[in-house]
Amino acid sequence: MKHANHTPTRWTRADALKVNENDPTTTQPLVRPDFPVMSDTVFIWDTMPLRELDGTVVSVNGWSVIFTLTADRRPHDPQFINADGRYDIKRDWEDRHGHARICYWYSRTGKDWIFGGRVMAEGVSPTTREWAGTPILLNNAGDIDLYYTCVTPGATIAKVRGRVVTSDSGVELQGFSQVKSLFDADGTYYQTEAQNATWNFRDPSPFIDPVDGKLYMVFEGNVAGERGTHEVGPNELGLVPPGHEDVGGARYQVGCIGIAVAKDLSGDDWEILPPLVTAVGVNDQTERPHYVFQDGKYYLFTISHKFTYADGVTGPDGVYGFVGDHLFGPYTPMNASGLVLGNPPSQPFQTYSHCVMPNGLVTSFIDSVPTQGDDYRIGGTEAPTVRIVLKGDRSFVQEAYDYGYIPAMRDVVLNQ
C-alpha cells in the first residue's frame, strides 16, 4: 500500500493561548454532587458506544449496547482501608488503571444500563490491562470487531472478534476469544517506549472515509524522537504575541493524533501513516481521537487534560476539536483554540473522556465533584449527556440530558 505523504496540521501555542475557560458556549454544565451511580460494585470510565464504521451509534434488536473500561470497587481490600477502618474510595479510584477490563452494558431506553460483564474472559487479552478502543458492528449477523489497546508489557493496537446475541430479556456477547495484534508504535512517526518511558500509543478508532470508501483508523500517539530532543520552533509557536516566545520545558510535550490505513475492509492488515495533527510544545496527550462527518466536513475530536499542557499554555480537561475539508487536512482548530467542551473552572475534574456522536450528543464519565470545603465525591459512573451544535469551525453547547443517556441513532435487526 502506498499513500501520498501529507503534512500534519500543527496545533500551535498561539492557538492554545486562545483557550477561554470561561466561555459558556464551550463549558460543560455543572454536575451536581448528588449524582446517581450505575453500580456499587464496579467503577466505569471510558465509554465506547456500539457503532458502525460510519460512526452511527446503533442498537441491536432494540437493545442499546455500550462498552466501558471497568474495574472492581474493592471496599474490603486491606490496601484501601484507612487507619480508622473506613474504605478509601479515592485511593481505589486512582488505582483503577492497573486492573482495567472492558465490560459491556445494555439497555432498552438508552439509559438505565444493565451490567453484562466481561467482554473477554480472563487470560484472553495478551497483556495485563485492557484499555480503550471502539466496538464496531459489522453486519446484521451480529458480528462485532472490538478494536482496543493491549497495555503492559508495551502498548499494542489490537482487535478481537465476537458476536452479539439478544433475547427478550437481555444481551449476551459470545466469542471474543482470539486477539489479533495489529501494530505498535514505529519510532519513525510515533514515539516508542525506548524513546520515552512515558510514551502514549492507544485508543484506536476505525472508520470508513466517506469520500474514498477506505478503512482508516485514528489513534493517540506522541511524535517520534528521543524524549527532550524535539524543537519548539516558529511553526510550533504560531503567531504568538510579544512576551510569549519563551517556551520553558515545552519540548517534552509532543502529543499527536495518528492515522493508519487498512489494506482492505477486513481490518487485518494496516499501514501506519504520518500524524494528522501534532501538538509539539502544546500538549502531551491527545486521547481517544474520533470523527464526526457533517456538512461535507471532517470533525476530528480528541480529549486532553490540563496537567498535560506544556509550560506557558493551559486549558481545561475536556474535548478538543479540529475541522477540515479533507481527511488529510489541513485542519483548523475549533473555536480558534481547539477547545470544544471543557469542565467549568469551579469543578475542573468533574468529567472526562468525552465521546462526540454524529447526532451531536456527547457522553463522558464523572471523575470527581466538589462537595464541602476541599472534599470531593468520586464518580466512576456515567455523566449527564450534553448536546453540542457544530457550525463550520465553531461549536456551541445547547442542552443537557440525563446521566448516561446514549440513545441509538439506528436499530439493526439481526438475522439470528
| Strand, helix or coil for residue 80 | helix
In the chain, the amino acid numbered 103 is C
Out of 15, 46, 203, 220, the active site residue is 46
Out of 209, 284, 287, 382, the active site residue is 287
Burial label for 134, CB within 10 Å (0-12, 13-18, 19+), is: buried
Quick check: 256 and 210 in contact, CB under 8 A?
no
Quick check: 322 and 259 in contact, CB under 8 A?
no
**Residue 336 carries which DSSP code?**
G
Quick check: 397 and 46 in contact, CB under 8 A?
no
H or E stretch covering 15: helix 13-17
The β-bridge relationship of strands 42-49 and 9-10 is unpaired
Quick check: 34 and 372 in contact, CB under 8 A?
no
Catalytic residue check, 46: yes
* Residues listed for the chain: 416
Cell of 114: 444493565
| Residues recognised as catalytic | 46, 287
